[in-house]
C-alpha cells in the first residue's frame, strides 16, 4: 500500500512519521504549487471551496507520483461543514478521471475515533510500536510549531532580511529527516541555536498582529500567499491563533492550560454566538476578543471564498471590532487572489496600526484578561471598553488620546498616565 494525503502546513511531516512508524509506505505529493491548484480547479465543481480544489490537486499529484491509496479526513456527510462530503466527492471525481486507488477516510467527529482509525493502519504492529509511531509524530509536530512560533518573533527584528526564513526552512527539513526521538532532540537543540544566532535589532518594538480564520488557509502557506512571512518582513510579529497540536488537544478535551486553547475562544465568542456554528466560525470571533485582551495591535481574519462557517464569522467581526476597538482585516482567498493586492492591503493595515500605536490607543493588555464584555453598558458609554470583573464590579476603560481613564462601578474614577 502506497499512501498519499493532501498537504496542510506541517501535516505531511507528522502524518508521514506516524504512517512510516505503522509500517506503511508513504508518497508525499509535490509541495502545493500553481500546478496543483490548476489541476484541482480544472476538475472541481465551481462552487467548491478552495481547500477542496487544492486537496484534489494534491491527490492527483500524489497518484501521479505512484500512490495507490488516498488518506482523507471527513466521514461522508458528517461534520460541521462541507468537509464531511469531500472524501466522497474526491473519490467520484478521481474515478471518473480514470485513477485506480483505494480511499481511507478518517472520521472528523472525535479525536479518539480519528486516532483509532489511523492506528488501524498498523494492525500488524505491537501496541508499543503504535504508541512510539504516534509519539514521534506528536513530538515532530510540537517541535515544528515551536520553531515556527519562534521564527515569528525573530523575523521582524532580523537585521538581514530573509535569514530567519532560511533557518526556519533548514530546521523543518532536519525535523522531517529525524528518524527517532533522540535525533529529534538533537535537531531541536541545533535549530534553537541556529535561531539564536540570527542577528537581531532588539531595539525595535514590532507591531503584534494575530492571525485567525479557517484552519486550512491559516496553516497552508501556498494558499495564504505566505502572509505570515510577508508580515514578518514588514516588521510585524505574527501571533497565529490556530495550531495543529492545540486542535488535537481540543479534540481529546485536554486544551485548558493556554490562551490559544480552542475552548477559551469558544467561551469568549458566547456573547455573540449562542451555539457552535461549526468549523472555526466561533473560534474566529473568540480569538478576536482574546487578541484584544492580550494587547495585540490588530487581527487578520483569513477565509476561503464560499466558506460557509467563516461567512458567518465575517458578518459578526465588524461588531466585535467596534465593541472592542480592535482593528480587523479580512482576506477572502480563492484561486484569483493576487499577491500585489494582498501586499497593498497589508501595508495599509500596518500603517494604520502604527499610527494607532503612536496615538496611544489600544495599548491596554493582559490586566483585563478573564474579564468579559457587557454589551449593554458598552452602548451606554459609547466607545469605551467595558467589562465586568469576577467579583461583579463593573469596570470601564476609556483609552483616549492623552490618558487612560478607569471607572469602577461608575463612581470611582482614576486617571493613569499614558505609557
Ligand atoms: S471550513 Fe469552509 S473552507 Fe474549510 S472545508 Fe469547510 S466550508 Fe470549506
**What tens digit of pLDDT does each residue of 102-114 get?**
998 887 666 667 7
DSSP secondary structure of 205-255: --EEEEEEE-HHHHH-TTTTTTHHHHHHHTTEEEEE---HHHHHHHHTT--
At residue 261, the pLDDT reads 80
SS3 121: helix
115 and 14 inside one domain: yes
65 and 98 inside one domain: yes
Kindly report, residue by residue over 276-299, the tens digit of the pLDDT: 888 889 999 999 999 988 889 999
In a domain, 301, yes or no: yes
Is the pLDDT at 215 greater than 70? The verdict is yes
Contact partners, residue 334, CB within 8 Å, separation at least 6: 50, 304, 305, 306
Say how far apart CA 116 and CA 119 lie, in whole Å.
5
In a domain, 134, yes or no: no
In a domain, 132, yes or no: no
Residue of minimum CA distance from atom 7 in ligand 1: 307
CATH code, 74: 3.40.50
Does ligand 1 come within 6 angstroms of the Cβ of 304?
Answer: yes
226 and 362 inside one domain: yes
In angstroms, what CA-CA distances link 255 with 58, 213, 275, 367? Answer: 31, 19, 20, 22
Average pLDDT, the chain: 84
- Kindly give the distance from the C-alpha atom of residue 72 to the centroid of ligand 1, in angstroms, as a whole number: 14
Ligand 1 atom index nearest CA of 50: 3
359 and 218 inside one domain: yes
Say how far apart CA 354 and CA 360 lie, in whole Å.
10
SS3 379: helix
CA atoms within 13 A on the CB side of 199: 4
| pLDDT band at residue 146 under the 50/70/90 scheme | very high
Is the pLDDT at 179 greater than 50? The verdict is yes
Does ligand 1 come within 6 angstroms of the Cβ of 243?
Answer: no
- Kindly give the distance from the C-alpha atom of residue 159 to the centroid of ligand 1, in angstroms, as a whole number: 38
Say how far apart CA 243 and CA 138 lie, in whole Å.
13
Of 61, 95, 125, the residue at which a domain comes to its end is: 125
Say how far apart CA 20 and CA 59 lie, in whole Å.
19
226 and 269 inside one domain: yes
Count other Cβ atoms within 10 Å, centred on residue 116. 12
284 and 146 inside one domain: no
DSSP code for 136 = H
- Kindly give the distance from the C-alpha atom of residue 13 to the centroid of ligand 1, in angstroms, as a whole number: 23
Does ligand 1 come within 6 angstroms of the Cβ of 213?
Answer: no
Residue of minimum CA distance from atom 1 in ligand 1: 279
In a domain, 360, yes or no: yes
DSSP code for 120 = G
At residue 364, the pLDDT reads 42
104 and 213 inside one domain: no
Classify residue 356 as exposed, middle or buried by CB count within 10 Å of its CB (0-12, 13-18, 19+): middle
Of 176, 202, 228, the residue at which a domain comes to its end is: 202
326 and 244 inside one domain: yes
Does ligand 1 come within 6 angstroms of the Cβ of 307?
Answer: yes
Is the pLDDT at 414 greater than 50? The verdict is no
Say how far apart CA 60 and CA 274 lie, in whole Å.
40
338 and 210 inside one domain: yes
Kindly report, residue by residue over 341-387, the tens digit of the pLDDT: 999 999 999 999 998 887 754 434 333 433 343 444 444 444 444 45
In a domain, 151, yes or no: yes
Classify residue 182 as exposed, middle or buried by CB count within 10 Å of its CB (0-12, 13-18, 19+): exposed
226 neighbors 211 (Cβ within 8 angstroms): no
At residue 418, the pLDDT reads 45
Write out the three cell numbers for 53: 480544489
At residue 116, the pLDDT reads 74
Structural domain boundaries enclosing 179: 140-202
Residue of minimum CA distance from atom 2 in ligand 1: 307
Residue scoring higher pLDDT (67 or 73): 67
Say how far apart CA 9 and CA 176 lie, in whole Å.
13
261 and 380 inside one domain: no
Average pLDDT estimate for 219-247: 93
In a domain, 93, yes or no: yes
Write out the three cell numbers for 66: 505512484
Residue of minimum CA distance from atom 6 in ligand 1: 81
In a domain, 135, yes or no: no
Does ligand 1 come within 6 angstroms of the Cβ of 279?
Answer: yes
345 and 228 inside one domain: yes
53 and 170 inside one domain: no
CA atoms within 13 A on the CB side of 65: 20
Mutate to test the pocket of ligand 1, among 304, 332, 335 (most ligand atoms within 8 A of CB): 304
Which ranges of 44-180 would DSSP assign to H, the alpha helix?
50-64, 83-96, 111-119, 127-154, 163-177
Of 160, 177, 202, the residue at which a domain comes to its end is: 202
Cell 477572502 belongs to residue = 332
Residue of minimum CA distance from atom 3 in ligand 1: 307
Angle, helices 50-64/34-43, rounded to nearest 10 degrees:
110
Say how far apart CA 156 and CA 138 lie, in whole Å.
28
Kindly report, residue by residue over 55-64, the tens digit of the pLDDT: 999 999 999 9
Say how far apart CA 74 and CA 170 lie, in whole Å.
33
Count other Cβ atoms within 10 Å, centred on residue 236. 25
- Kindly give the distance from the C-alpha atom of residue 340 to the centroid of ligand 1, in angstroms, as a whole number: 25
Query: How many structural domains comprise the chain?
Result: 4
Write out the three cell numbers for 153: 518573533
At residue 286, the pLDDT reads 94
Which ranges of 97-162 would DSSP assign to H, the alpha helix?
111-119, 127-154
CATH code, 347: 3.40.50.11900
- Kindly give the distance from the C-alpha atom of residue 49 to the centroid of ligand 1, in angstroms, as a whole number: 6
In a domain, 133, yes or no: no
Amino acid at each position: 500500500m502506497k499512501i498519499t494525503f493532501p498537504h496542510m502546513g506541517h501535516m505531511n511531516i507528522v502524518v508521514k512519521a506516524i504512517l512510516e512508524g505503522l509500517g506503511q509506505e508513504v508518497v508525499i505529493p509535490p509541495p502545493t504549487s500553481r500546478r496543483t491548484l490548476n489541476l484541482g480547479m480544472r476538475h472541481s465543481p465551481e462552487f467548491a471551496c478552495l481547500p477542496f480544489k487544492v486537496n484534489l490537486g494534491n491527490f492527483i499529484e500524489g497518484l501521479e507520483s505512484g500512490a495507490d491509496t488516498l488518506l482523507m479526513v471527513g466521514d461522508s456527510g458528517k461534520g460541521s461543514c462541507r468537509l464531511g462530503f469531500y472524501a466522497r466527492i474526491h473519490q467520484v471525481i478521481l474515478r471518473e478521471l480514470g485513477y485506480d486507488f483505494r480511499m481511507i477516510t478518517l472520521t472528523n467527529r472525535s479525536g479518539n475515533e480519528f486516532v483509532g482509525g489511523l492506528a488501524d493502519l498498523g494492525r500488524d504492529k505491537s501496541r508499543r510500536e503504535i504508541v512510539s509511531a504516534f509519539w514521534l509524530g506528536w513530538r515532530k509536530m510540537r517541535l515544528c510549531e515551536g520553531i515556527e512560533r519562534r521564527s515569528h518573533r525573530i523575523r521582524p527584528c532580523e537585521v538581514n532580511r530573509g535569514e530567519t526564513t532560511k533557518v526556519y526552512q533548514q530546521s523543518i527539513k532536519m525535523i522531517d529527516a529525524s528518524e527517532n526521538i533522540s535525533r529529534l532532540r538533537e535537531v531541536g537543540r541545533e535549530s534553537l541555536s541556529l535561531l539564536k544566532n540570527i542577528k537581531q535589532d532588539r531595539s525595535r518594538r514590532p507591531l503584534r498582529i494575530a492571525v485567525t480564520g479557517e484552519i486550512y488557509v491559516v496553516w497552508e502557506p501556498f494558499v495564504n500567499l505566505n502572509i505570515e512571512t510577508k508580515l514578518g518582513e514588514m516588521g510585524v510579529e505574527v501571533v497565529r491563533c490556530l495550531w495543529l497540536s492545540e486542535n488535537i488537544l481540543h479534540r481529546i478535551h485536554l486544551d485548558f492550560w493556554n490562551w490559544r486553547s480552542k475552548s477559551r475562544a469558544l467561551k469568549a465568542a458566547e456573547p455573540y454566538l449562542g451555539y457552535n456554528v461549526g468549523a472555526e466560525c466561533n473560534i474566529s470571533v473568540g480569538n478576536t476578543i482574546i487578541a484584544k485582551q492580550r494587547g495585540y495591535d490588530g487581527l487578520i481574519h483569513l477565509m476561503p471564498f464560499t466558506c460557509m462557517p467563516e461567512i458567518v464569522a465575517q458578518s459578526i467581526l465588524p461588531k466585535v471590532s467596534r465593541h472592542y476597538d480592535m482593528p480587523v482585516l479580512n482576506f477572502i482567498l480563492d484561486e484569483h487572489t493576487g499577491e500585489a493586492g494582498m501586499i497593498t492591503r497589508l501595508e495599509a493595515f500596518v500603517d494604520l496600526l502604527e499610527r494607532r500605536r503612536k496615538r496611544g490607543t489600544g495599548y491596554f493588555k493582559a490586566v483585563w484578561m478573564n474579564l468579559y464584555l457587557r454589551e449593554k453598558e458598552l452602548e451606554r458609554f459609547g466607545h469605551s471598553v467595558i467589562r465586568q470583573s469576577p467579583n461583579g464590579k463593573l469596570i470601564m476603560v476609556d483609552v483616549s488620546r492623552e490618558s487612560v481613564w478607569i471607572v469602577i462601578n461608575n463612581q470611582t474614577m482614576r486617571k493613569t498616565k499614558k505609557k
